[in-house]
């Protein structure tokens, strides 16, 4: 530990994001970097505590606490403080294949479990992580490292999101020949088309894909398993298959008027926006001049708000069925649990500055959509809910007399996902759990079909990018063990 008193001397300080009025006029990343002396001072705040909960990867009260990747956080914080950037990079890459992604889009459960956070604002772990990897790329230290030989085994990875890419990277290190299949026209899964460019620049995703390709991984786009190639054929053509195709079936809102024009799933909107940007063409599903209503909170809802603003919407409202979180931890949400507190994310910050108010309305549920004479949505009828206990569960109940109307001509459903699309494994049935996810025991990742493994959201349900990377890495180890009888992958 280089600076025992660092947490006493330096306050938590994050790099300033680009000003709202500047960033909403383009699609460039809004993140910024500290100068070196400031990021080193932030590294000095790490206490090198005896039990570093930041990298324990626990699940407490239904949420991640600490890093699921078991990142060696105190080690690389200390190395950054000392200016030993290459050693910090080596520690970081031992556990995380893609810190340039997690450093931008992860909600940082590591910071929620930081021991310093008990008495002071936690260490800026996420910003330090991003700085380590971005500096390495900028200085030319991230170069292809292909394996010295090949095992003679061929593995197909279905899906090129964070789980699939992590799995492919690890299997390639084990000398296997890996082919990644992706149904979209670009590699990256949700990293490419599910997260807007201003939050994760697609050039960074492509940069990592190009690096992996230079290391010998094959990528095949515009190929949907279950439609273009049956899973049974894939299993016959390869020595093993790892399914990392996500939980892409969105949760619907089957209320009156759902078939009105102008009501879309959030991912339809976000994917079309990013594809139009990358193809340098106008979006076929634009919020320009629209009164936008986003139903659902979370990161996807925020991304819809930020995207609608950049497209030039007239207004934006975000409806959330849950109550507004408190500003500080409550007694029933102690450290090191994930702090369930109010946060102002980038989209809400932009809406507040542009339209004068936070777009979120809490404890609200939609009752029906009303369309105009042309069949296009013009209103969302909503009501206030009160959460009440019933049969041992908390359920939202309508508050009598609370009905009201929200004007809308574009509605985006951002209510999460309910499981994988079953057509992926049509013709090669696999056991599923009660939620429709592919059944594969955590730690083993083997499905009910020999030689077929599953990892990430397709196995565990909708979750964090860090969990996807963790599962992709672990499934690669088990697949390697299946192929070779043992594995030296971490």
202-251 residue pLDDT tens: 999 999 999 999 999 999 999 999 999 999 999 999 999 999 999 999 99
Report how far apart the first and last C-alpha atoms of the chain are (Å, whole number).
26
Pick 6-138's CATH classification: 3.50.30.40, 3.30.465.10, 1.10.3720.10, 1.10.1060.10: 1.10.1060.10
pLDDT of residue 1: 65
Structure tokens at 16: 């300033």
> Is the pLDDT confidence value at 48 over 90?
no
CA–CA gap between residue 234 and residue 55 (Å, rounded): 37
pLDDT of residue 391: 87
**What is the number of other CB atoms lying within 10 angstroms of the CB of residue 370?**
14
Percent of the chain surpassing pLDDT 70: 100
Region(s) of the chain under CATH 1.10.1060.10: 6-138
pLDDT confidence band for 489 (50 / 70 / 90): very high
Region(s) of the chain under CATH 3.50.50.60: 154-248+418-484, 252-415
pLDDT of residue 270: 98
Q: Which of 418, 403, 369, 372 is nearest to 252 (CA)?
A: 418
397-443 residue pLDDT tens: 999 999 999 999 999 999 999 999 888 887 778 999 998 999 999 99
pLDDT of residue 308: 98
Strand partners, 459: none
366 touches 343 (CB < 8 A):
no
Structure tokens at 257: 């008027």
319-360 residue pLDDT tens: 999 999 999 999 999 999 999 999 999 999 999 999 999 999
Average of per-residue pLDDT across 11-19: 95
DSSP H helical ranges for 312-411: 346-355
155-203 residue pLDDT tens: 999 999 999 999 999 999 999 999 999 999 999 999 999 999 999 999 9
Instruction: Domain 252-415: give its CATH architecture.
Output: 3-Layer(bba) Sandwich (3.50)
> Is the pLDDT confidence value at 4 over 90?
no
pLDDT confidence band for 394 (50 / 70 / 90): very high
**What does pTM read for this prediction?**
0.96
Pick 154-248+418-484's CATH classification: 3.40.50.10140, 3.30.420.250, 3.90.870.10, 3.50.50.60: 3.50.50.60
**What is the number of other CB atoms lying within 10 angstroms of the CB of residue 249?**
15
Output the DSSP codes for 43-101.
HHT----SS-GGGS-EEETTEEES-TT---HHHHHHHHHTT-HHHHHHHHHTT-S-HHH
pLDDT of residue 32: 87
> Is the pLDDT confidence value at 105 over 90?
yes
């Amino acid at each position: 530990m280089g600076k025992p008193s660092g947490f006493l001397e330096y306050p938590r300080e994050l790099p300033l994001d680009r000003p709202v009025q500047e960033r909403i006029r383009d699609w460039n990343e809004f993140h910024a970097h500290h100068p070196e002396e400031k990021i080193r001072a932030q590294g000095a705040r790490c206490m090198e505590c005896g039990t570093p909960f930041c990298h324990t990867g626990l699940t407490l009260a239904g949420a991640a606490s600490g890093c699921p990747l078991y990142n060696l956080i105190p080690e690389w914080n200390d190395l950054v403080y000392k200016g030993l950037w290459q050693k910090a990079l080596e520690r970081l890459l031992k556990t995380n294949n893609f810190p340039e992604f997690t450093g931008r889009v992860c909600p940082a459960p590591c910071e929620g479990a930081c021991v310093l956070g008990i008495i002071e604002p936690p260490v800026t772990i996420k910003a330090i992580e991003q700085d380590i990897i971005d500096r390495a790329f900028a200085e030319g230290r991230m170069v292809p490292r292909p394996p010295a030989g090949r095992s003679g085994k061929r593995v197909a990875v279905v899906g090129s999101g964070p789980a699939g890419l992590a799995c492919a990277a690890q299997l390639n290190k084990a000398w296997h020949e890996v082919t990644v299949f992706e149904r979209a026209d670009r590699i990256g899964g949700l990293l490419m088309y599910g997260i807007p460019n201003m939050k994760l620049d697609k050039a960074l995703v492509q940069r990592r894909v190009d690096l992996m390709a230079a290391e010998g991984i094959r990528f095949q786009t515009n190929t949907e398993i279950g439609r273009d190639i049956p899973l049974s054929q894939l299993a016959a053509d390869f020595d093993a298959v790892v399914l990392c195709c996500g939980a892409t079936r969105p949760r619907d809102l089957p209320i009156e008027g759902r078939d009105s024009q102008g009501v879309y799933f959030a991912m339809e909107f976000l994917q079309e926006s990013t594809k139009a940007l990358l193809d340098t063409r106008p979006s076929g599903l634009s919020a320009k001049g629209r009164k936008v209503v986003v139903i659902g909170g979370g990161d996807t809802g925020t991304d819809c708000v930020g995207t609608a603003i950049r497209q030039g919407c007239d207004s934006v409202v975000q409806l959330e069925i849950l109550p507004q979180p408190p500003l500080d931890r409550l007694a029933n949400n102690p450290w090191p649990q994930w702090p369930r507190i109010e946060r102002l994310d980038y989209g809400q910050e932009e809406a507040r500055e542009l339209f004068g108010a936070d777009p979120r309305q809490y404890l609200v549920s939609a009752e029906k959509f009303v369309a105009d004479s042309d069949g296009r949505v013009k209103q969302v009828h909503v009501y206030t809910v009160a959460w009440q206990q019933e049969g041992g569960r908390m359920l939202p109940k309508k508050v009598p007399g609370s009905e009201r109307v929200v004007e809308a001509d574009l509605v985006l459903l951002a209510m999460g996902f309910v499981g994988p699309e079953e057509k992926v494994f049509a013709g090669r049935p696999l056991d599923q759990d009660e939620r429709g996810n592919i059944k594969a025991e955590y730690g083993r990742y083997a499905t009910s079909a020999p030689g077929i493994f599953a990892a990430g959201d397709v196995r565990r349900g909708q979750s964090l990018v860090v969990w996807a990377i963790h599962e992709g890495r672990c499934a690669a180890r088990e697949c390697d063990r299946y192929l070779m009888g043992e594995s030296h992958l971490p």
